[in-house]
């Protein structure tokens, strides 16, 4: 299998084919380059996050993957097809701009969206009722969209994205506009899709959603992708921090602490040495430092994002804001 940036199935010959294999995608609008050479390799069945600040190029990238717009340069294979339009009926897409016909009943709206992706209307209506029931909106089946709350309408649109049982679901900022409870429900729904083998790609500027949900992420800033790969790998770009508390404050063991060690109250903190913590532990024990506690804390994805994409890109990102309505 050929490898592209961010292919985190490297080393396994039995890995399923990639759901998305995009190379060198470029999109220009007038003089501005919105997407500037993006490679993405997204395994089948993954939950994959596209993380970036406003204007980074997330939507433009997704729209190229969906075949809504064509790249000026580069290639994309989507579910094995070089033209995404050929596999449109296997794809579900929730655009960033939400909107349904206000006069339609909820179940009709879902069936209509399914029909646009090739699902016969009769089947779509039946499935729509089931979906609404199973997502706690049984009471809203016959209600017009204009009679629903914003959160309910958004759920209806999401169900319309799923009604034809797509193999690939692309969600553009799906958490925006949802309250904390509905954000939690959406996380459960996304996990459920992945459990059934559906590939889910979503864009977000809220890092916590990606950190909780995704196996793989692409960090995008200024139209470029400085990182694509496993969330773990991104976090490992920053050394873990050691936090050490000792009974004795002085002693020869202090010499064993790394140069960057700083005392914060009762604790020492420093980056985990490349040699690991064992040689240090040995020195602390031999020097009778009296270890009271020692913990190793891996960097969070937000810190990794800052290290990879820079402070400027990170300033528009949200570390964790369950009630985010941006
Ligand atoms: N149709 C268009 N015509 C001109 N410029 C565009 C068009 N679509 C996007 N752009 C520009 O391309 C850049 C990337 O936009 P894009 O919508 O892809 O970013 P994004 O990461 O999705 O941001 P946001 O979260 O704010 O939607 C921006 O500078 C935007 O103004």
ipTM (interface predicted TM): 0.95
pLDDT in tens, 149-175: 888 999 999 999 999 999 999 999 999
The DSSP line for 221-285 is ETTEEEEEEEHHHHHTTSPPEEEEEES-S-SGGGGGS-TT-EEETTEEEEEPPTT-SHHHHHHHH
Choosing from 235, 266, 287, the residue where a domain stops is 235
The pTM (predicted TM-score) of the whole model is 0.85
Percent of the chain predicted with pLDDT > 90: 75
| Same domain for 268 and 121 | no
| Same domain for 269 and 167 | no
Which domain does 279 fall in, by range?
241-297
Q: Which residues line ligand 1 (CB under 6 A)?
A: 29, 34, 52, 54-60, 96
- Statement: residue 320 has pLDDT above 50: yes
> How much is the mean pLDDT over the chain?
90
The enclosing domain of 118 has a CATH number of 3.40.50.300
Does residue 152 contact residue 141 with C-beta atoms inside 8 Å? no
- Statement: residue 81 has pLDDT above 70: yes
Q: What is the mean pLDDT of residues 80-93?
A: 95
Closest residue by CA, ligand 1 atom 24: 54
What is the CA(197)–ligand 1 centre distance, in A? 31
> Does some domain include residue 59?
yes
Question: Of the residues 49, 50, 59, which should be mutated to test ligand 1's pocket, given the most ligand atoms within 8 Å of the CB?
Answer: 59
| Same domain for 149 and 44 | yes
- Give the model's confidence band at 316: pLDDT under 50 very low, under 70 low, under 90 confident, else very high: confident
Q: What is the mean pLDDT of residues 293-317?
A: 89
> Does some domain include residue 4?
no
Closest residue by CA, ligand 1 atom 16: 57
pLDDT in tens, 5-20: 444 544 455 666 899 9
- Give the model's confidence band at 267: pLDDT under 50 very low, under 70 low, under 90 confident, else very high: very high
| Same domain for 219 and 87 | yes
How many separate domains does the chain show?
A: 2
> Does some domain include residue 266?
yes
- Statement: residue 4 has pLDDT above 50: no
Rounded (10°) CA dihedral 191, 197, 203, 206: 20
What local confidence, expressed as pLDDT, does residue 299 receive?
A: 86
| Same domain for 40 and 26 | yes
How deeply is 135 buried, as exposed, middle or buried, from its count of CB atoms within 10 A (0-12, 13-18, 19+)?
middle
Q: 263 versus 14: which is more confidently predicted?
A: 263
Angstrom distance (rounded) from CA 201 to CA 203: 7
pLDDT in tens, 44-73: 999 999 999 989 999 999 999 999 999 999
| Same domain for 149 and 189 | yes
What local confidence, expressed as pLDDT, does residue 179 receive?
A: 87
Question: Of the residues 26, 27, 49, 58, which should be mutated to test ligand 1's pocket, given the most ligand atoms within 8 Å of the CB?
Answer: 58
| Same domain for 158 and 53 | yes
Closest residue by CA, ligand 1 atom 30: 55
| Same domain for 134 and 76 | yes
| Same domain for 279 and 152 | no
| Same domain for 197 and 70 | yes
- Give the model's confidence band at 104: pLDDT under 50 very low, under 70 low, under 90 confident, else very high: very high
Cα angle, residue 167 at apex, residues 80 and 84 outer, rounded to 5°? 40
What is the CA(313)–ligand 1 centre distance, in A? 15
Angstrom distance (rounded) from CA 314 to CA 305: 7
């Amino acid at each position: 299998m050929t490898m592209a940036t961010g292919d985190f199935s490297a080393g396994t010959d039995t890995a399923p084919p990639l759901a998305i294999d995009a190379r060198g995608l470029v999109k220009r609008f007038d003089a501005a380059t919105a997407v500037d050479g993006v490679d993405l390799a997204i395994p089948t069945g993954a939950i994959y996050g596209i993380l970036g600040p406003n204007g980074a190029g997330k939507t433009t990238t997704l729209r190229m993957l969906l075949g809504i717009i064509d790249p000026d340069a580069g290639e994309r294979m989507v579910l094995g097809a070089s033209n995404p339009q050929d596999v449109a009926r296997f794809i579900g897409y929730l655009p960033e701009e939400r909107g349904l016909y206000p006069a339609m009943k909820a179940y009709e709206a879902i069936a209509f969206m399914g029909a646009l992706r090739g699902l016969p209307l009769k089947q779509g209506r039946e499935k729509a009722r089931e979906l609404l029931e199973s997502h706690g909106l049984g009471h809203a089946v016959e209600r017009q969209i204009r009679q629903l709350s914003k959160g309910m309408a958004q759920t209806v649109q999401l169900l319309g994205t799923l009604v034809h049982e797509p193999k690939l679901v692309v969600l553009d900022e799906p958490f925006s506009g949802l309250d904390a409870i509905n954000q939690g429900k959406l996380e459960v729904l996304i996990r459920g899709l992945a459990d059934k083998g559906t590939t889910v790609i979503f864009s977000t500027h809220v890092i916590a959603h990606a950190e909780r949900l995704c196996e793989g992420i692409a960090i995008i800033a200024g139209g470029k992708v400085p990182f694509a790969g496993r969330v773990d790998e991104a976090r490992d770009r920053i050394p873990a921090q050691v936090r050490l508390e000792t009974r004795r404050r002085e002693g020869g063991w202090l010499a064993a602490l790394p140069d960057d060690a700083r005392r914060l109250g009762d604790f020492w903190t420093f980056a985990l040495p490349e040699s690991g913590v064992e040689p240090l532990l040995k020195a602390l024990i031999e020097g009778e430092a009296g270890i009271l506690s020692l913990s190793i804390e891996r960097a969070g994805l937000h810190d990794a994002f800052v290290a990879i994409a820079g402070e400027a890109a990170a300033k528009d990102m949200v570390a964790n804001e369950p009630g985010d309505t941006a």
